[in-house]
Structure 1
Amino acid sequence: MSHLPGFLSVRVLRGVNLVSRDATGSGPYVVLHLDNQKLKTSVIKNTTNPVWNEDLTLAVKNPATPIKLEVLDKDTFSKDDQMGDAEFNIEALMQIIQMDLEDISNGTVVRTVRPGRQCCLADESHII
């Protein structure tokens, strides 16, 4: 079964109680990786509880490839510090797209991603 390439919009909402990486205050931002794509949110200065509320759109070639999410602290004079990371699969979402969506309302939770050893989310996050 082949999948047509498509686009996936990921809304990066916020970070909660991120680890502080600088004495002068952290400047966190999020990077999404999929295949050879690398998309970034804006940097929110001097906070460990950033609110981005930004949409990043990725081209999906293979739905079996997981999306990697990294949270980094922007540094001016040195390499940016890692604050956390997570991976999530979108295969369940791709299966939903092939279904009859007439009975599924906007905002329906398709999958829940929970924190774990491979996923440094602070709390569970929903794929809607």
Structure 2
Amino acid sequence: MADKKVNPIGNVMGLLRIRIKRGINLAVRDVTTSDPYVIIRLAKQKLKTRIIRKSLNPEWNEDLTLCVADPNEPVKLYVYDHDTFSLDDKMGDAEFDIRPFLEAVNMNIEGDLPDGTIITKVKPDRQNCIAEESCIIWKEGKVTQNMFLRLRNVECGEIELQLHWIDLPTAQLAA
């Protein structure tokens, strides 16, 4: 019986690179400040930013990359305050739908669009945590989305992030 080649990354559509830019007006969890970090989850994947010490307006500017297999799966984001001698405190959570972004990516836009062209807009509603209208744009030859997520289950705070898509070469997937 012939050995079957197994694709180690399964039915992955591509990679979603999420740049965690910054936190805005995050909740105080220590005496006067917090030591925040962000965890991103998609299906069984879990990635974490570094801890920013003593800041309610931290700047991470950190890229986290997730494999996307199911476009219907929401990306979940959790913010925590790092504590040395006890469990980390929750500082809120949010989630967002990647389908509008993937629809824009799949439009197969050619490079003749001017930089900064708005492809589509995602409006805040009760189903998402988007704090303000988010534009999906064509920038530097790529589809990009900037968004501000309002944190839930906390008194205040937002996270600013940016999405980029990375296609996987089909030749490598077939090998």
- TM-score bracket, normalised by the shorter chain, equals 0.7 to 0.9
The 5 A counterparts of 1:1-128 are 5-23=13-31, 25-102=33-110, 103-104=112-113, 107=116, 108=118, 110-112=120-122, 114=124, 119=129, 123-124=131-132, 126=134, 128=145
Long gaps (5+) in structure 1: none
- Between the aligned partners of 1:99 and 1:16, the Cα distance in structure 2 is 33
Larger radius of gyration: 2
- Between the aligned partners of 1:99 and 1:63, the Cα distance in structure 2 is 15
Counterpart amino acid of residue 84 in structure 1: G
As a proportion of its length, which structure holds more strand? 2
Alpha-carbon offset, residue 114 of structure 1: 3.4
Mark the CA change 1:7 to 1:73 in structure 2 (over 3 Å): closer, same or farther: same
Counterpart amino acid of residue 124 in structure 2: R
Is contact 2:104–2:119 with CA below 8 Å preserved after alignment? Answer: no
Using structure 1 for the length normalisation, give the TM-score: 0.82
- Between the aligned partners of 1:17 and 1:9, the Cα distance in structure 2 is 24
The structure showing larger relative contact order (alpha-carbon pairs under 8 Å, at least 6 residues apart) is 2
Mark the CA change 1:117 to 1:55 in structure 2 (over 3 Å): closer, same or farther: same
Deviations 1:1-30 (A, max 9, x none): xx8521000011111111100116310011
- Between the aligned partners of 1:72 and 1:55, the Cα distance in structure 2 is 18
Using structure 2 for the length normalisation, give the TM-score: 0.62
Counterpart amino acid of residue 69 in structure 1: L
Structure 1 consecutive aligned stretches of length 4 or more whose deviation exceeds 6 Å: none
Q: SS of the counterpart of 2:24?
A: coil
CA RMSD, Structure 1 to Structure 2 (Å) = 2.4
Alpha-carbon offset, residue 100 of structure 1: 2.7
Counterpart amino acid of residue 73 in structure 2: T
Deviations 1:44-85 (A, max 9, x none): 000111011111100001010000011110011111111111
- Counting aligned pairs with the same residue, the percent is 46
Counterpart amino acid of residue 45 in structure 1: R
Is contact 2:97–2:128 with CA below 8 Å preserved after alignment? Answer: no
Is contact 1:115–1:124 with CA below 8 Å preserved after alignment? Answer: no
